[in-house]
């Protein structure tokens, strides 16, 4: 089943190399629609209604971000499954922990990708 997967992340990280290239270069994701909000250097202009169209949310939460927090609040309100990923040794805020399905720690880039794939395969 093809899914619409929204990837939330802070803009303070190197999301192009740490997230986007990893996911775009993995054949697993060719059958799914990845929504990468800052791909090609431009932020997509999600309206409040756009978030209702996503099947699952992967949020990189190793660094705090007000924008990600707002997005996750909307997605939670829309009852979307949200999976919070943090680099080993990091911890998301208590507010984030209270609204996500699960906090998942990862050790490196490949571990990050493999754990996302395992979640998507469950759906």
CATH value at residue 52: 3.40.50.450
pLDDT higher than threshold 90 for residue 47: no
Structure tokens at 122: 């469950």
Domain count for the chain, please give it. Answer: 1
Confidence bin at 101 (pLDDT 50/70/90): confident
Domain that holds residue 15: 4-122
- The DSSP symbol for 37 reads T
Instruction: Check if the beta carbon of residue 37 is closer than 8 Å to that of residue 31.
Output: no
Select the more confidently predicted residue: 44 or 84.
84
Question: 37-41, 42-46, 60-64, 113-117 — which is least confidently predicted?
Answer: 42-46
pLDDT higher than threshold 80 for residue 12: yes
pLDDT in tens, 26-46: 999 999 999 998 887 666 666
**Gap between the Cα atoms of 49 and 58, Å rounded:** 18
Task: Provide the β-strand partners of residue 102.
Answer: 83
């Amino acid at each position: 089943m093809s899914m619409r997967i929204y990837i939330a992340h802070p803009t303070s990280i190197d999301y192009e190399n740490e997230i986007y290239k990893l996911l775009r270069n993995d054949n697993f994701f060719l059958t799914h629609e990845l929504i990468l909000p800052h791909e090609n250097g431009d932020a997509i202009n999600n309206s409040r209604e756009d978030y209702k169209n996503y099947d699952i949310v992967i949020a990189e939460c190793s660094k705090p971000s007000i924008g990600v927090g707002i997005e996750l609040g909307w997605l939670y309100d829309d009852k979307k499954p949200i999976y919070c990923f943090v680099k080993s040794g990091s911890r998301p805020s208590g507010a984030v922990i209270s609204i996500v399905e699960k906090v998942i720690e990862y050790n490196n880039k490949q571990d990050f990708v493999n754990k996302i794939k395992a979640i998507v395969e469950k759906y």
